[in-house]
Amino acid sequence: MSQILDTPSAREIPSDWYALYTRYQHEKNVALSLSDKGFEVFLPLYTAVHRWKDRDKRLSLPLFPCYIFLRNPTERWLSILATISSEEIDAVKRVVGSCLKLEPHPFLECGDRVRLRAGPLEGLEGLLVRKKSVWKLVVSVEMLQRSVAVEVDATMVERVAARSAEVALGFLGAGARSQAIVSPITFLPR
């Protein structure tokens, strides 16, 4: 389910979208208010079931909490708004417009340290990598400088803080960090 509020004049001029930060749980009111003032507003929503002791309730919640998207805001706002490409907003509109179940997901990048949330390997930590179109969790034995990769569902992982050794290397420059990580350990037999 999505909420797309727009005006005819705004639809005629194609341009980038802008992200506007709002107070938590005020997204719908801000979107409605700005729409009433003639702005083209996009507020993507998803449906979630919240359970209380006595009942279940279906709620329409913002897909990006605390954010709404504007097209063609006034000039004085441009300095405080983050630009979002039309292609990214179109992709979000396609996902929201589909009949598929959707929910917010933390932003993950290849190389992030993650933990599996479910499945037979629940609780296992490693690095998230992508090979072709498959996500893999890499578990390493650093002392041996060997790793094993297992295919995982990217929706079943959550980002975790870097381990202390990786954080300690963070103060080194990029070249020093890569040398520290890939340098061979000479006292181990091959």
**pLDDT for position 14:** 55
**What is the maximum span of the chain, computed from C-alpha positions, in angstroms?**
72
Q: Both ends of the chain: CA-CA distance in Å?
A: 57
Query: For residue 162, what is the DSSP state?
Result: P
40 has a pLDDT exceeding 90: yes
CA atoms within 13 A on the CB side of 180: 13
**Mean predicted lDDT score pLDDT of the chain:** 75
Confidence of residue 178 (pLDDT cuts 50, 70, 90): very low
CA 123 to chain CA centroid, Å, is 21
**pLDDT for position 78:** 76
CATH number assigned to the domain covering 2-97: 3.30.70
Average pLDDT over residues 83-95: 86
Average pLDDT over residues 30-46: 93
Confidence of residue 34 (pLDDT cuts 50, 70, 90): very high
Average pLDDT over residues 21-34: 94
Q: Structure tokens of 34? A: 């700005």
H or E element: which one contains 5? strand 2-5
Residue type at 182? V
Distances (CA, A) of 170 to 111, 162, 166, 173: 14, 10, 6, 8
Domain spans of the chain?
Answer: 2-97, 113-182
Beta-bridge mates of residue 61: 46
The percentage of residues in the chain with a pLDDT greater than 90, rounded to a whole number, is 22
8 has a pLDDT exceeding 60: no
Residues 6+ apart with CB under 8 A from 181: 169
For residue 32, which of 63, 59, 68, 8 has the smallest C-alpha distance? 68
**pLDDT for position 143:** 46
Number of neighbouring beta carbons within 10 Å of residue 62: 21
Average pLDDT over residues 66-76: 86
